[in-house]
Structures are given as structure tokens and as C-alpha cells.
């Protein structure tokens, strides 16, 4: 079975500072990894994904994520945070080799960017 861990319930950062939202995963075989953002009472919006190849993945709104196979991590990063980035962020995994199509989500991390 696969699992995703987001160790921080909340991350606070000042506007203009870099941000990191942590994610580690456990999966049999190779993973497809995803980050989604959720605003209040809304569905999830796709930010970026890792499939294969370059470990640094660039996504929407200036976000990027670094895949680290040895540490089984896929941390979300942004060089300069905006107040509008404040939202709930989910990391998710889909095993590459099992044919399972549903995503397994982490518990979510609330990002609070202070002006």
C-alpha cells in the first residue's frame, strides 16, 4: 500500500521569503507524485507533477518541487512567497506500476503567508 506524509500541519512564512512545504512518500515501485492546492470550499487545483527525468519540477504560479528518490521526498518550494499563496496544500502519489488510478493524499499543510 502507498502512503504520503506531510509532517507540518501549518507553515508560516513572511511575504517575499522562500517557502518549503514538506512531503515524503512510501510506495511499491516507482511513483508519480503530485502537488495540489485548495482554497476554502473549493476543489483541488493541480500545481505540478513528477513523472520521470529531471528531479526539479516547475509548476504553476512559480512553484517548484524537488524529487529525491533516496529520501523518498517531494518537497514543494517557492523562492518568494505571496500573501495570495495562503491556502491548503496536498501532496499525492499514484504508483507507477500497479494500475491503481486513485490518488493517495497526504494530510495537507496549511500555508500562511504574512504581509
Partner 1 sequence: GAVVSQHPSRVICKSGTSVKIECRSLDFQATTMFWYRQFPKKSLMLMATSNEGSKATYEQGVEKDKFLINHASLTLSTLTVTSAHPEDSSFYICSPPGQGASEAFFGQGTRLTVV
For partner 1, the binding residues (CB under 8 A) are 9, 32, 34, 36, 41-46, 49, 51, 90, 94, 96, 101-103, 105-108
For 76, the enclosing helix (H) or strand (E) is: strand 73-78
User: Closest separation between CB of residue 79 and partner 1, Å?
Assistant: 23
Residue 38 dihedral angles phi and psi, to the nearest 5°: -130, 125
CB of 56 to partner 1, least distance (A): 17
Residues 6+ apart with CB under 8 A from 66: 55, 56, 57, 73, 74, 75, 77
Q: How far is the CB of 13 from partner 1 (least distance, A)?
A: 19
Amino acid at each position: 500500500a502507498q502512503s504520503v506524509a506531510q509532517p507540518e500541519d501549518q507553515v508560516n512564512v513572511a511575504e517575499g521569503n522562500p517557502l518549503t512545504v514538506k512531503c515524503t512518500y512510501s510506495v511499491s515501485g516507482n511513483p508519480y507524485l503530485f502537488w495540489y492546492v485548495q482554497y476554502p470550499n473549493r476543489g483541488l487545483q493541480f500545481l505540478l507533477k513528477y513523472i520521470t527525468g529531471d528531479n526539479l519540477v516547475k509548476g504553476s504560479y512559480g512553484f517548484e518541487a524537488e524529487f529525491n528518490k533516496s529520501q523518498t521526498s517531494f518537497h514543494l518550494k517557492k523562492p518568494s512567497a505571496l500573501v495570495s499563496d495562503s491556502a491548503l496544500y496536498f501532496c499525492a502519489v499514484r504508483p507507477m506500476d500497479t494500475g491503481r488510478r486513485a490518488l493517495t493524499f497526504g494530510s495537507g499543510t496549511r500555508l500562511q503567508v504574512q504581509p
